[in-house]
């Protein structure tokens, strides 16, 4: 901390923790909110300082730096990693660059936060885990950004499961439904190209619900069976003529090389059954993440569109008076809520990123392993790969006509 910083924040101010972020679009804005807010809400052992943000478009990244409170802007991620005022590198880029940036940052002595999914392949994720383990021996930490673990109601659900409130698990249902690709005229973006995104709804949405099932159950998936479909196989490309794509002027299209939707079943290590659905083609569903966990003694249910609520059923109660009851997760003894508003004053999506920052900063300061770790990200990546493999093998079945048909 410089003398000026010490004077501004007091002699007993926590040490500064310089943050450098690669990427400035949707996730960059969300992560910026978390870094900017956490130290003003929680009593952190270190003070996040927004040192620099990086993006290839110089004008756009400078605008993002000004809007989100970053002190400097860079156009090359290697330059950002090399900065002396950056101790944590936050990666908010498409999946194709996660491994290269994360490994370089770890080798440069930085802590790393990487958005999900961890990588575009199991091999890349394994390389990232190896780099994280080597860095851990030097005192560095690496975390993957599954922000929905930081929804207070979900964190509280895990606590109830750990306490045995619903008993041994029987069934888990997880769905994540969006509709932003339901319109076939929606343009071809990087999220629809396998070489950049790795997969479609599977990696974008399915990664979240796979991680949440692992987090809530405390178990690994040991088998999957999947179906996937790309309903709109070509989409309009802005600037398609310049890219050499086919079609009349103004109507150029490009191939969609990822899934639009995926459904799969799974088995947990305990024998509990799980079902998953991830789609970006569910008309009318904007960000509908839903979970239900059934156990021998009760059930829990969560809906992201009712983010501050958890439904709980105690199956040991008399049938005449039992049923699901609503728990409003806003009390000060609920997870993360001690620093926020009075009971009943709801939190929102952006708070999950503030909670993520709190947990990472505390892990850095304590020198302990953060969660979810790169190992967690690798386990999710292995499930995604197994789902893709299963979907490719589960070809469409054409019934043989019978004599009566």
* CA–CA distance, 206 with 69 (Å, rounded to integer): 32
pLDDT of residue 239: 65
pLDDT of residue 13: 86
CATH of residue 266: 3.30.360.10
* CA–CA distance, 349 with 3 (Å, rounded to integer): 37
User: Residues of the chain with pLDDT > 90: what percent?
Assistant: 90
Q: Do 57 and 105 fall within a single domain?
A: yes
CA distance to 99, 103, 193, per residue, from 129 (Å): 10, 9, 25
Q: Is the dihedral of CA 201, 202, 207, 210 positive or negative?
A: positive
- Nearest one of 317, 287, 285 to 299, comparing CA atoms: 317
Among residues 147, 172, 198, which one ends one of the domains? Answer: 147
Is 288 part of any domain?
A: yes
Is 361 part of any domain?
A: no
Q: Work out the angle between the directed axes of helices 207-217 and 374-393 (0-180°, nearest 10).
A: 120
Q: Do 143 and 213 fall within a single domain?
A: no
pLDDT confidence tier of residue 250, bands split at 50, 70 and 90: low
In this structure, how many other beta carbons lie within 10 angstroms of the beta carbon of residue 20?
27
pLDDT confidence tier of residue 7, bands split at 50, 70 and 90: very low
* CA–CA distance, 203 with 391 (Å, rounded to integer): 14
Q: Do 169 and 317 fall within a single domain?
A: yes
pLDDT of residue 140: 98
Q: Do 196 and 156 fall within a single domain?
A: yes
Is 382 part of any domain?
A: no
Is 312 part of any domain?
A: yes
Among residues 113, 147, 181, which one ends one of the domains? Answer: 147
* CA–CA distance, 217 with 98 (Å, rounded to integer): 27
The total number of structural domains in the chain stands at: 2
Pairing label, strands 221-229, 261-268: antiparallel
Q: Do 325 and 192 fall within a single domain?
A: yes
- Each residue of 83-101: pLDDT tens digit? 999 999 999 999 999 999 9
The residue with greater pLDDT, 249 or 168, is: 168
The tokens describing 5, both together, are 């910083």
Domain carrying residue 329: 152-306+308-347
Q: Is the dihedral of CA 190, 146, 104, 90 positive or negative?
A: positive
Is 79 part of any domain?
A: yes
Side-chain half-sphere CA neighbours of 317 within 13 A: 13
Q: Is 14 a residue whose pLDDT tops 60? A: yes
Pairing label, strands 288-295, 169-177: antiparallel
- Each residue of 169-186: pLDDT tens digit? 999 999 999 999 999 999
Q: Is 118 a residue whose pLDDT tops 90? A: yes
Q: Is 211 a residue whose pLDDT tops 70? A: yes
The CA R_g of the chain, rounded to the nearest whole Å, is: 23
Contact 319, 333 (CB under 8 A): no
* CA–CA distance, 89 with 44 (Å, rounded to integer): 18
Q: Do 105 and 198 fall within a single domain?
A: no
Q: Is 241 a residue whose pLDDT tops 60? A: no
Among residues 147, 181, 203, which one ends one of the domains? Answer: 147
Q: Do 182 and 322 fall within a single domain?
A: yes
Q: Is 312 a residue whose pLDDT tops 60? A: yes
Q: Do 99 and 190 fall within a single domain?
A: no
Q: What is the mean pLDDT of residues 322-343?
A: 97
pLDDT of residue 187: 95
Rounded to two decimals, the pTM is: 0.92
Q: Do 269 and 236 fall within a single domain?
A: yes
List phi, psi (to 5°) of 106. -65, -40
- Each residue of 350-401: pLDDT tens digit? 999 999 999 999 999 999 999 999 999 999 999 999 999 999 999 776 777 7
Q: What is the mean pLDDT of the chain?
A: 93
Is 398 part of any domain?
A: no
pLDDT confidence tier of residue 238, bands split at 50, 70 and 90: confident
Q: Do 157 and 240 fall within a single domain?
A: yes
Is 373 part of any domain?
A: no
CATH of residue 34: 3.40.50.720
pLDDT of residue 248: 41
- Each residue of 26-72: pLDDT tens digit? 999 999 999 999 999 999 999 999 999 999 999 999 999 999 999 99
Which residues make Cβ contacts (< 8 Å) with residue 150, sequence separation at least 6? 336, 351, 352, 353, 355, 356, 359
pLDDT confidence tier of residue 11, bands split at 50, 70 and 90: low
Q: Is the dihedral of CA 347, 348, 352, 353 positive or negative?
A: negative
pLDDT of residue 403: 66
Helix, strand or coil for residue 90? strand
Q: Do 99 and 160 fall within a single domain?
A: no
303 exposure class (CB count in 10 Å sphere: 0-12, 13-18, 19+)? middle
The residue with greater pLDDT, 396 or 340, is: 340
pLDDT of residue 400: 76
Is 219 part of any domain?
A: yes
Q: Do 201 and 112 fall within a single domain?
A: no
């Amino acid at each position: 901390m410089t003398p000026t910083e010490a004077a501004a924040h007091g002699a007993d101010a926590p040490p500064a923790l310089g943050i450098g972020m690669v990427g400035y679009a949707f996730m960059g804005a969300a992560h910026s909110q978390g870094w900017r807010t956490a130290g003003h809400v929680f009593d952190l052992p270190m003070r996040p300082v927004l040192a620099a943000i990086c993006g290839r478009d110089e004008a756009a990244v400078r605008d993002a730096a000004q809007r989100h409170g970053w002190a400097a802007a860079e156009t090359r991620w290697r330059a950002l990693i090399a900065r002396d005022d950056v101790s944590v590198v936050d990666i908010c880029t498409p999946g194709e660059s996660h491994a290269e940036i994360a490994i370089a940052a770890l080798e440069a002595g930085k802590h790393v936060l990487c958005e999900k999914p961890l990588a575009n392949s199991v091999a890349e994720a394994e390389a990232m885990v190896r780099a994280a383990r080597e860095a851990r021996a030097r005192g560095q930490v690496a975390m993957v950004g599954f922000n929905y673990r930081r929804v207070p109601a979900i964190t509280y659900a895990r606590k109830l499961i750990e306490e045995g409130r619903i008993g041994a698990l029987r069934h888990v249902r997880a769905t994540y439904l969006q509709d932003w690709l339901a319109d076939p005229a929606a343009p071809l973006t990087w999220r629809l190209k396998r070489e950049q995104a790795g997969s479609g709804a599977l990696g974008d949405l399915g990664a979240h619900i796979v991680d949440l099932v692992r987090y809530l159950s405390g178990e690994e998936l040991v088998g999957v069976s999947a179906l996937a479909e790309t309903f709109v196989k070509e989409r309009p490309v802005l600037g398609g003529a310049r890219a050499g794509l086919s079609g009349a002027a103004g109507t150029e299209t490009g191939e969609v090389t990822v899934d639009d939707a995926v459904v799969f079943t799974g088995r947990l290590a305990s024998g509990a059954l799980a079902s998953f659905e991830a789609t970006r083609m569910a008309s009318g569903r904007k960000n509908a993440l839903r979970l239900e966990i059934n156990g021998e003694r009760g059930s829990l249910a969560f809906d992201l569109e009712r983010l501050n609520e958890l439904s709980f059923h105690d199956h040991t109660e008399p049938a005449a008076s039992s049923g699901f009851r609503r728990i409003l997760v806003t009390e000060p003894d609920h997870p993360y809520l001690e620093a926020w508003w009075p009971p009943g004053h709801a939190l929102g999506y952006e708070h999950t990123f503030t909670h993520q920052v709190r947990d990472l900063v505390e892990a850095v300061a304590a020198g302990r392993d953060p969660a979810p770790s790169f190992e967690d990200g690798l386990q999710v990546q292995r499930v995604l790969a197994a789902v893709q493999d299963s979907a490719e093998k589960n070809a469409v079945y054409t019934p043989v006509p019978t004599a009566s048909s």
